[in-house]
Chain A
Amino acid sequence: MKNLPKTRNIGISAHIDSGKTTLTERILFYCDMIHKIEDVRGGGGGAKMDHMELEKEKGITITSAATTVNWHGYDKNGISCTEGDGKSIKINIIDTPGHVDFTVEVERSLRVLDGAVLVLCSVSGVQAQSITVDRQMKRYSVPRLAFLNKMDRMGAGAEKGAKELREKLHHNAVLMQIPIGAEENFDGVVDLITKQAIYFDGDNGENVRIEDCPADLVELMEEKRATMIDEVAAFDDEVMEKYLEGEEPSEEELHKCVRAGVNSLELTPVYMGSAFKNKGVQPLLNAVARYLPSPVSCEKSTGIKATKEGDVKIKLDPDFEKPLVCMAFKITDEQFGQLTYTRIYQGTLNKGETIYNTRTKKKFVLVEWLE
């Protein structure tokens, strides 16, 4: 728990039917939270995140559900991140509904999250709802990565997806991968930083196999890699200088640049895959761990203190030793009482402790959940 740099609070938002619940489902699976993959539509018990009966019936997500997962990297040997290097990263994920009528679910998730994955369908591209979600992300200054889903579908295209992000949402969208094979032959991705091909073996794509870039893609890979470096090097003066002098930036330097770009909200790295076909999800998790901010480096935690002279903004510090400040961002009324989803901004929340609601001034004691 005392490992803040290794925590990510992220949201997955997108337009309806772009497959974000399917993507979340795969993330749970690869992080060993569930042992069998179930799909949103069709038989079976329904996807894990869509637990309400009505959601299962309509195949849409109405209320957002929170889930915590631990990501260990491809081979369970850990992942190197610019921040919080170590064996695993704890990711708190909020799944959000795609339908605009439930837009408040998106608002309240973004309010408390530190980073987000913007899922786009690589066939239909940027749709009206993506524009809304994007505006919401900008409102709360949420750093983001893009994931082009459904790369196995007819008419899917990575270049096209990135172009729409640039033209319709005015993102500085940069491809971090290129696809191997197209449409139904979509087979994997080439990582433009490592130049390696990544394939997804096993029944559910759980075995990541790393190979050299296929010979017929080397030329394209080098071309796209150069474009990517041109864009990202600008986010670090030192790297930029070296690069202009003809020296190729190292992998670590590139990670550093991408991270700076993402956190300044001026860069949207683009990843791709097909959640349904179990391809491309693990590299996205690596990117979440590497580039999205931890609660420590996130700048969004502001509080408001009412004083006689009016309201003043105060900085909340993600320090366990400081006095507790936390915010209820979502409430569900369960059979056994109210469940209050809470983001802790400062201090530590302990069982048995007395806490105060600062609006109503009411006192509460934190209790255990009894089934």
Chain B
Amino acid sequence: MVRMNSNDRENIDSAGAGDIIAMVGIDCASGDTFVADDNLLNVSCEGMHIPIPVIELSIRAKDKDQQAKMSKGLSRFRKEDPTFHVFTDEESGETRIAGMGELHLEIYVERLKREYQADVEVGAPQVNYRETIREEAAFDYTHKKQTGGSGQFGQVVGVIRPLTDDKKEREDQNFKFNNNIKGGSIPSEFIGACEKGFEDVMDKGPLAAFPLIDVEVELNDGKYHDVDSSDMAFRIASRQAMRQGISKASAVILEPFMQVQVETPEEFQGFVIGDLSSRRGLIQGSESNSGGDTIINAQVPLSEMFGYSTDLRSGSAGKASYSMEFAEYKACPSNIQESVIKAREEKLAKEE
């Protein structure tokens, strides 16, 4: 174990409560808790808020050799940064990386090239859409298969509804499961399988197979069979029930909105506001700072912000600057929703 002084390290023999030090040669993820007494294995420290990624792009190595270097780098970055995601697109098989903004991903791509000498190509950045539900809906589904041998049986009854902020246990909670089963209409050993089944469906929304967020499930009743009920039977029943509920709950597509702040000389104020509006931006206000520049605040969909730095530079003779960060997910207007669904369908069809 060591004490850190920027990039220099000093070995130490012990450190006590309240201190911040670094441990060497330990394999873990950010947020993990360590104890020395194996009776405390059920203790963990309160977690931290990890925002969900809003942007992603595909990344490809030139050949097998480069692929190995790239994988090595990506697995390290993923471990170090919980907002940096690496995954394989199930449909196309390509490697995709996701994160908090264009610069965020750009830095990692640059680091792959410099620190790992990995020759990689990246695709155009894409917005991470999400889906959610707008209304409450009931479900009642029985999964039954009794054709010789051991059968399968499970019935689940309940309600799904939008998960509002005040009901979240954590700020970044996207799925909440409430078990209201009393009197054993579903035996308690199957409740875990039910929860898993409901949560399975969160991966793919009904409109365009984007992940679902902010759904609350309430399991109120059900039936089981002494012989034919199993974890698998209840998990399948819950999946189907969830799909049934969602189809009646007015699903919508959500897109990430960014908080954008532009600083510009007054003469370009008209251009900046007009341009932001044409990007479906909601202008929240403007003010002037002590240097005589105007500061404009707006919320703009991320999908409209690609290439913004170039447009802003050319429209303001290079004098305006901007910063942006993720603000929140908001429902797409219906025309945008349609085009997002259509683009997604085409993409999925092409990959098949």
Contacts and interface: CB of A to CB of B under 8 A. Distances in A.
A, B bound: yes
Interface of A: 1-2, 4, 7, 9, 15-16, 28, 33, 48-49, 51, 53-54, 62-63, 65-68, 92, 94, 99-104, 107-108, 111-112, 123-125, 127-129, 132, 136, 139, 155, 157, 160, 294-296, 302-307, 314, 316-320, 322-333, 336-351, 353-362, 364, 366-369
B4 A66 contact: yes
Nearest to B39: A323
Interface in B73-97: 76, 79-83
A7 B20 CA distance: 10
Contacts of A7: 18-19
A369 B31 contact: no
A65 B6 contact: yes
The 6 closest A-B pairs by CB, nearest first: A295-B18, A101-B104, A100-B325, A318-B17, A101-B101, A128-B261
A194 to B, nearest CB: 30
B259 A128 contact: yes
Interface of B: 1-7, 9, 11-46, 48-51, 76, 79-83, 99-104, 107, 110-111, 114, 171, 259, 261, 289-291, 297, 323-326
B25 A367 contact: yes
Contacts of B289: 124-125
A46 to B, nearest CB: 11
B28 A325 contact: no
B31 A320 contact: no
Given A100-B100, A129-B323, A366-B23, A33 B5 contact: yes
B3 to A, nearest CB: 6
B21 A344 contact: yes
Nearest to B325: A100
Given A306-B44, A364-B34, 14 more contacts: A16-B323, A100-B323, A101-B100, A294-B18, A325-B40, A328-B32, A331-B30, A340-B26, A341-B4, A347-B17, A349-B16, A351-B1, A356-B34, A356-B38
A51 B43 CA distance: 35
A360 to B, nearest CB: 7
Contacts of B290: 123, 125, 155, 157, 160
Contact of A65 (B4, B33, B40, B48): B4
Contacts of A63: 80
13 contacts: A54-B110, A66-B4, A66-B22, A67-B4, A104-B100, A108-B30, A295-B19, A325-B43, A340-B28, A344-B16, A344-B21, A351-B12, A355-B26
A66 B34 CA distance: 20
A353 B165 CA distance: 43
A366 B1 contact: yes
A51 B17 CA distance: 28
Contact of A319 (B17, B20, B39, B41): B17
A42 to B, nearest CB: 19
B45 A330 contact: no
A329 B43 contact: no
A67 B5 contact: yes
Contacts of A33: 5
Contacts of A329: 30-31, 48
Contact of B46 (A127, A296, A303): A303
Nearest to B73: A333
Contacts of A302: 45-46
Contacts of B24: 336-340, 366-369
Contacts of A127: 261, 323
A9 B18 contact: yes
Contacts of A337: 24-25
A104 B172 CA distance: 13
A305 B29 CA distance: 19
B291 A342 contact: no
Contacts of A342: 20-23, 34
B51 A104 contact: yes
Contacts of A316: 45
Given A155-B290, A333-B80, A338-B25, A369 B2 contact: yes
A347 B43 CA distance: 14
B17 A4 contact: yes
Contact of B36 (A51, A94, A353): A353
Given A108-B48, A339-B24, A356-B34, A4 B16 contact: yes
Contacts of A123: 290-291
Contacts of B45: 302-304, 316, 325, 327, 345
Nearest to A95: B6
B21 to A, nearest CB: 6
Given A7-B19, A65-B6, A128-B259, A348 B14 contact: yes
B30 A66 contact: no
Contacts of A314: 43
Nearest to A366: B1
B80 to A, nearest CB: 5
A108 B18 CA distance: 16
Nearest to A313: B46
Contacts of A326: 33-35
A355 B34 contact: yes
Given A68-B3, A100-B323, A320 B17 contact: yes
B335 to A, nearest CB: 29
A331 B28 contact: yes
B320 to A, nearest CB: 14
B41 A103 contact: no
B5 A99 contact: no
Contacts of B100: 100-104
Contacts of B40: 323, 325, 358
Contacts of A99: 103
B117 to A, nearest CB: 14
B191 to A, nearest CB: 13
Nearest to A136: B49
